[in-house]
Amino acid sequence: MGHSSARSIKCLLQFKAASGIPSITIDKIGIFHPCSVAKSQHRPIQGPSQKMLQNPGDVIVADLIGPLPLSLDHKKYVLTIQDCFSHLTVAIPLINKAKAKGQLQNWMIQFANFSGYTIKVIRTDNGSELKNSIFEEFLRKNGIIHEYSVPYEHPQNGKIKRTNRTLSEISRTILVAANLPVNLWPWAFRHAVWIFNQTLHAESIKTPYELISKRVPSMDMLRVFGSKAYIHDHKF
């Protein structure tokens, strides 16, 4: 489960926020070397308090990470998008930064159609990759407010920055644990996002997946990243 903390797993079991997890007793988890290697960090900076959120879509935050090491499928960037109410998060690996605006616009349409909620605010930094006249016209037509954070002031867009750090830690950890090369980072990052959306976060006793889909997630399909898999050929 992406080397989730003991507290996180206990909460999933206690609140029955996910199915398919074996009944286990968790008292203490020791130091795990890949976690120590992958999760070292600077001292966090406290940001301003968040606005009160009532529904999914009230505030969406987006950020671009990169350039990253060139991946096996030629990706160098990853666009992360998060609904601040539910914490539902997506990560979209990109070949270049120019693809970010179109991918963000497509996701916003899909989110509104799938969830049934209207997006009210989209918050990004001042990077030019998420600013152009076509995207701004799309926002205007849909009544969506575009808020910008001050450059280099990460606390103003702290929620997505913290999520990016968490996802980066998980993806690095599972690559280290599986002894896999860094050029597989897009697959590790998407695996990290899947875990993030199926686990609990501080503000809720429901997972991001359940808050949007109204269904309790199942962990039955979860496998250790990097596990061997076999394909059954029906011709034989």
pTM over 0.95: no
pLDDT of residue 46: 44
Coil/strand/helix, residue 189 = helix
The CATH number assigned to the domain holding 161 equals: 3.30.420.10
Q: Among candidates 154, 155, 136, 156, which has minimal Cα distance to 146?
A: 136
Do the domain assignments include residue 45? no
Q: Among candidates 153, 149, 170, 168, which has minimal Cα distance to 35?
A: 170
Structural domain containing residue 115: 6-39+55-213
Do the domain assignments include residue 107? yes
Q: What is the dihedral of CA 56, 211, 191, 100, to 10 degrees?
A: -10
pLDDT of residue 26: 55
pLDDT of residue 53: 87
Residue 62 and residue 124 in contact, taking contact as beta carbons nearer than 8 Å:
yes
Do the domain assignments include residue 112? yes
Do the domain assignments include residue 233? no
Do the domain assignments include residue 190? yes
Do the domain assignments include residue 137? yes
pLDDT of residue 35: 54
For residue 37, report the phi and psi dihedrals to the nearest 5 degrees.
Answer: -70, -45
Do the domain assignments include residue 235? no
Domain count, the chain: 1
Walk along the chain (236 residues) in steps of 10 and give the mean pLDDT of each run: 61 63 58 54 45 88 95 97 95 95 96 94 86 92 91 67 94 95 97 94 87 89 85 79
Report the distance separating Cα 235 and Cα 171, nearest Å.
36
